[in-house]
Structure 1
Amino acid sequence: MTAKPSILVARRLPDACEARLDADFAPRRLPGDGPHPMPALLAAAEGCSGMLVTLTERLDAATIATLPASLRIIATMSVGFDHIDVGAATARGLAVTNTPGVLTEATADLTLLLILGAARRATEAMALIREDRWGTWSPTGLLGVDLAGRRLGILGLGRIGAAVAKRARAFGLEIHYHNRRRASPEQEQGATYHDTLDRLLAVSDILALTAASTPETRNIIDHAALAKLPPGAILVNSARGDLVDDDAVIEALRTGRLFAAGLDVFRGEPALDPRYRRLPNVFALPHIGSATVETRTAMGMCAIDNLDAVLKRGTAPITPVT
């Protein structure tokens, strides 16, 4: 009988995924749910032919250079792969795969929650209830802003951006977007394309970031970008924390240049900039964009499908990033 491929599993997965790993592979797991120190992961990976990682495992060029020679594939349970030096992995002949598509709907739902939470001052409202400070109903209490008739600017009209646009239309929002290249008519669905970021910013009453983290997009929302938004705009980020300059965003929130922000991702998370916690006009969540039973299970299964293709069937990976 052919031995099952050994797989290093960096984090605990949903039950259905764990059961499949146990049935089809020889998984190696460290105690607890981590994230684990990289030296411990590297030691556990010795002799493994595959790694199943998440965005919490940062595999830079130096780390990839120390991976065991037995390794053939790194499967990340995430759509983003900025935590992996793909060039270094490719140079070593390693396949790198991600999980695109399966988290689109859940992340789009969460993005609408961020928009609503920021627009309707949900952080302040919840604090009144949780801290038992709700005195009385007031005609002028906690006035937020309507969504209907406002312009939603989407930076990155890919799968998730298009799904956000579809939901936002139901709230009466007018859709605008910027990509490096114009999307197809099927993807646009009547949205207005702007060929530069500056033009998108100028019309974005609400700006939603759904772009990937790349050298070109990191810190793309800085002081200069925020100054080009309409006064009192809302910023929403469900993509990656490093798309924004924290100092610039926090200053804009404090001065009222931004009405509010809805943030599910942060630079250096979970060690986010503590100033965000003290701002009442920040509706913040702990990176739960894909956190549904169905979606996280589908993500895990997609990663395992790639491991199965490369290590058991000897075929090309299903969702390669290279």
Structure 2
Amino acid sequence: MASNDARGDAPTTRRDRVAVVIEDDADIRQLLEQVLEQAGFETHSAGNGLDGIEEVRRHHPTLTTLDISMPGIDGFETAKRIRAFSETYLIMLTARSDEIDTLMGLEAGADDYVAKPFRPRELRARIEAMLRRPRLASGSGNADGAAPSMLGERAPSPVPRRETAASEAANAVASGHPPGGRPPANPAAQPVGSELGWLEHRGLRLHSEMHLVTVDGDELELTRSEFELLSDIMSSRRRVRSKSDLAVALRGESYVTSSFVSDADKRAVEVHLANLRRKIGESASHPRWIETVRGVGYRLTADDGA
């Protein structure tokens, strides 16, 4: 029984563990509160989208769970309104598991999408894995323009200006050595990139620390999951990354063999990749950057023929 999975002694609630539950079914709402409180969260609940938005605004939660089918505004619209002012981790819980619903949920700003009925232990494990991933807060916070860090993370180290990186790269080319003064042991194994910190392939450029992606000079706005998926694929170059491998990486874990990967996890990777391709303007049948290796996974296209 699901309720048996939820039993156990609740750990002490920490200040960085605040959750809002937005769910119109009272029984499921109570179960979610129980699961989250046993995971150390202080919980606040709402039975509809409008009240849930106000709870998020009032309590600044680390995590928000959100039902899709609710009276008044649905979960998709609720997620969009929450994303307009909050960087809370957002998990959609719903009995609707069609791919179009998953796509709409992720486009609305969800970090994860869990189908009902769910197992409390699995939900807790997914939440803990998600919280271990770095969270990029939007720059709405400090007076000096620096975005606030979340979940007790360390503030990111200062990133060199792009012009400085370009100058260093140019000096490195002139001297015949890469930045740092040491020649690469295997040039073919080096990451794609013409400037320090940048990955580049056929006009698609990504900088992990600056969380920046451009296509032919135009900056793109990607979700965190889309950005991490693109970063993993670009870093791997021609090495194929399986859906299971990418799903585990998106959860902030390292090895597929030590992690359970469900069909829903793999479908989420497919949805993220389809959404990513739409944003970068790529056709899956005639890819410029990311090709599908049927039955295996994804990798960068070959360098030639750009």
Q: Compute the TM-score of the two structures, normalised by the length of structure 2.
A: 0.31
Q: Relative contact order, CA 8 A, sep 6+: which one is greater?
A: 1
